[in-house]
Amino acid sequence: MDPLELKSIIERGLPGAIIEVHDMTGGGDHFEALIVSESFEGKGLIERHQQVYNAVGDAMRARVHALTLKTLTPAQYANRR
Amino acid sequence: MAEVIDRIQSSITRNKITIFMKGTRHFPQCGFSAATVAVFEELGVPFETVDVLADPELRDAIKVYSSWPTIPQVYVNGQFLGGCDIIRELHETGELRGLIDSALAQPVAQ
């Protein structure tokens, strides 16, 4: 899978999120994603990652072997820079 | 399915820290499993590992059990704590040490 395709799949599930996806190995199945979304507000890491996994849906089982996630709220993202 | 769920529950309640992983603690078969084990080695706390590659039924069931599609999965006192990214993040912020210390201080779950 192309990183841009994965990005658009995640965007569909988390509208309005800032999303960066990198292919870690160039093989199209190991990705790293930074996702900044208001929907993470008030949620723990488990719930945030589950939101992303749900957005990726069946592709998570079939086409994505590994997805390393960094999930931030807009406030956390602002503090980070 | 019921029998494999019993096995999962028995592992996560019998041990304070259980890591469901690919391969074994000394011979991990995946970089993410290896990285997760390395964090707990570094903390120097006792933990058990379960090799999901040796048990395809368990490998599927554990994903359903915590609505978590990836391996490794770490359980502390019977509760799902996270996968590789979450463990690494909690370790980097120093939160993991506190979580584990308080978990080890509690009586065994159940």
Phi then psi for A30, rounded to 5 degrees? -115, 115
Q: What is the largest CA-CA distance in chain B?
A: 38
Whole domain around residue B16: which residue ranges? 2-105
Quote the CA–CA distance of B35 and B24 in Å, as a whole number: 12
Q: Is it the case that residue B83 has pLDDT exceeding 90?
A: yes
Cα A50 from Cα A38, distance rounded (Å): 15
Global pTM value? 0.89
User: Would residue B88 count as lying in a domain?
Assistant: yes
Beta bridge pairs of residue A18:
A36
User: What span, in angstroms and rounded, lies between the C-alpha atoms of A1 and A15?
Assistant: 21
DSSP B74: E
Query: Residue A44: exposed, middle, or buried by beta-carbon count in 10 A (0-12, 13-18, 19+)?
Result: exposed
- Asked whether residue B68 is domain-assigned, the answer is yes
Residue B110 lies in a domain: no
pLDDT on residue B101: 95
* pLDDT for residue A59: 87
The yes-or-no verdict on residue B1 having pLDDT over 90 is no
**Predicted local distance difference test score (pLDDT) of residue A65:** 87
User: Would you call B76 an interface residue with chain A, using a CB distance cutoff of 8 Å?
Assistant: no
With vertex at residue A54, the alpha carbon angle to CA B92 and CA A67, rounded to the nearest 5 degrees, is 45
Token duo for residue B12: 């996560």
> A3-80 has which CATH code?
3.30.300.90
Predicted confidence (pLDDT) per residue in A19-39, tens digit: 999 999 999 999 999 999 999
Asked if residue B62 is part of any domain, the answer here is yes
pLDDT reported for residue B108: 62
User: A35 touching B, CB under 8 A?
Assistant: no
Q: Do A50 and B82 touch (CB under 8 A)?
A: no
- CATH code of the domain containing B51: 3.40.30.10
Distance from CA of B64 to the nearest CA of A (A): 12
**What is the tens place of the pLDDT at every residue in B19-73?**
999 999 999 999 999 999 999 999 999 999 999 999 999 999 999 999 999 999 9
Q: Which of A49, A61, A67 minimises the CB distance to B86?
A: A49
User: Is A53 in contact with B85 (Cβ distance < 8 A)?
Assistant: no
HSE (side-chain half, CA atoms, 13 Å) at A78: 5
How many independent structural domains does chain B possess? 1
Of A60, A61, A69, the CB nearest to B85: A69
